[in-house]
Chain A
Amino acid sequence: NAGVTQTPKFRILKIGQSMTLQCTQDMNHNYMYWYRQDPGMGLKLIYYSVGAGITDKGEVPNGYNVSRSTTEDFPLRLELAAPSQTSVYFCASSLHTDTQYFGPGTRLTVL
């Protein structure tokens, strides 16, 4: 039981490049979330999903897209990277809206 896994752990992008952050959970959780954590700040919700095929925007969705084709996977897509997207990205999952379990994070730098 690996919990929530995220890849890659680190990435440097140039402005305008695109990439996908991968997130997988093996706990059969229906809810999944993407957060960003900026230095010295708390977590801000980017997108969330309540089940396969259902996604919705969080507090800071601009510049990102998500999909949820399976229960296990919830990738986050950055289409045109901007310096403002430099952050640490965390994926989390939960059974309904109970305790969230977090992945180890992806540290992204956009130059």
Chain B
Amino acid sequence: AQSVAQPEDQVNVAEGNPLTVKCTYSVSGNPYLFWYVQYPNRGLQFLLKYITGDNLVKGSYGFEAEFNKSQTSFHLKKPSALVSDSALYFCAVRALDNYGQNFVFGPGTRLSVLP
């Protein structure tokens, strides 16, 4: 079965420090991987995606993610965290599952950037 794991419920980081939000996946075939961010009382916003090509993907707001096929991971990173980055982050994979070609979301990781 297709699945996405985000092993950390919460990540705390000091402003200005680098941040990493982890994601691992299990999917048949080549994965299409996505990161979304959710601010309080808002819908999810697209950050970046990996479909093919360079393993390091750059996205919105200075975020980037590294695809590692051997470790089946797609960790989200940012060199210098901002307080405004505090939000809920979701990793998702496009997968062929029981419901057709669709998205499977991880449970989310809450990022807190401390001033």
Contacts and interface: CB of A to CB of B under 8 A. Distances in A.
A42 B46 contact: no
A100 B94 CA distance: 10
A41 B46 contact: no
A101 to B, nearest CB: 7
Interface of A: 4, 33, 41-43, 45, 48, 50, 56-59, 90, 92, 97, 99-105
Nearest to B32: A97
Contacts of A103: 43
Contacts of B49: 99
Interface in B88-106: 90, 92, 94, 99-103, 105-106
Interface string B75-115: 00000000000000010101000011111011110000000
Contacts of A43: 44, 90, 105
Contacts of A102: 36, 43-45
Chain A interface SS verdict (over half) = strand
Interface of B: 32, 34, 36, 41-46, 49, 90, 92, 94, 99-103, 105-108
A33 B92 CA distance: 14
Contacts of A33: 102-103
B102 A48 contact: yes
B42 A105 contact: yes
A41 B107 contact: yes
A102 B106 CA distance: 16
Given A58-B102, A100-B36, A102-B44, 17 more contacts: A4-B43, A33-B103, A42-B106, A42-B108, A45-B103, A50-B100, A56-B99, A97-B101, A99-B34, A100-B34, A100-B44, A101-B46, A102-B36, A103-B43, A104-B42, A104-B43, A105-B41
Nearest to B49: A99
A99 B44 CA distance: 11
Contacts of B92: 100
A101 B45 CA distance: 7
A104 B46 CA distance: 13
A48 B100 contact: yes
A45 B43 contact: no
